Amino acid sequence: MLAGPPRPAVRLGRARPTRMKILVVEDEQKVADALREGLEAEKYEVIVERTGEAAFFRVNTETFDAVLLDLGLPGRDGLEILRAVRARGLKTPVLVLTARDSLQDRVTGLDSGADDYLVKPFAFAELTARIRALLRRHSDLGETVVQIGDLKMDLATRTVARSGKRINLTPKEFSLLEYLVRNRGNVLTRTMIAEHVWGYHFDSFSNVIDVCIRSLRAKIDDAFQTKLIHTIRGVGYLLSEEAP
């Protein structure tokens, strides 16, 4: 179940021009209802399915911008659905929502084709942040050059420049900056950063992320008047030309 009632997430980016369509696959009625209510309040169009078979049919016959997928489903397990739709070439972003919280469960889910993995119970604000991040990444998949302000990243050549000045980054710094840039305007929690940049979950109080952020700031922010990386105290980090 969700940790606390759904509440609107703080919007730091531009408003969505159209309603995004999300498929929620959840067999627990109360959780499904809470997800529907919260996401509709966020102006998403929401379709709910409560069995694996119904979800598999729906995702193969309709177009969705994202899928929220529980794993323990009646009729057909969520991992089975995920593997099957990926085998068919479906690229729709899938966020797994599950009580299965071991490291191996996370690895299995991501290796089966999930784009993100969130363990129950979770805060609704984090769920909506992850959905925005998923949609942002999916819309940016075709980009090879990503730019925010005077910061320019070439993903093909893995080069970074600011105001025309070449900046040398380590592979981890580049991955961290790419994740921040792809989700520009959205607050990213330490957990999200850990899972998507380091590839696994670790204690959110670890200073590994903070150390990498400090190193990245020294290279792309310290010598420039406009700061791009912002700390959202108690939450995580945000990449934006404007201070939050």
Q: How many CB atoms sit inside 10 A of residue 160's CB?
A: 23
- pTM summary value: 0.56
Cis peptide, bond prior to residue 121, ω within 30 of zero: yes
Per the listing, tokens 């922010």 go with: 221
What are the boundaries of each domain within the chain? 21-139, 145-239
CA 182, CA 92: separation in Å to the nearest integer? 17
Give the pLDDT of the chain (244 residues) as one tens digit per residue.
Answer: 454 444 333 333 333 335 788 999 998 999 999 999 999 998 888 999 998 888 888 888 788 889 999 988 887 888 998 998 888 888 889 999 988 888 888 888 888 889 889 888 888 988 998 898 888 777 655 567 888 889 998 877 889 999 999 999 998 899 899 889 888 888 888 888 887 787 666 555 468 888 999 999 999 999 999 999 999 988 889 999 888 7
pLDDT at 20: 82
- Which superfamily does CATH assign the domain made up of 21-139 to? Response regulator (3.40.50.2300)
Helix, strand or coil, per DSSP, at residue 4: coil
- CB-CB contact of 146 with 140 (8 Å): yes
pLDDT at 11: 37
CA 187, CA 242: separation in Å to the nearest integer? 13
- CB-CB contact of 33 with 46 (8 Å): no
Does 1.10.10.10 match the CATH number of domain 145-239?
Answer: yes
- Tell me how far apart the terminal alpha carbons of the chain are, to the nearest angstrom: 31
Cα–Cα nearest to 162, from 170, 171, 153? 153
pLDDT at 5: 42
Q: How many CB atoms sit inside 10 A of residue 217's CB?
A: 16
pLDDT at 179: 86
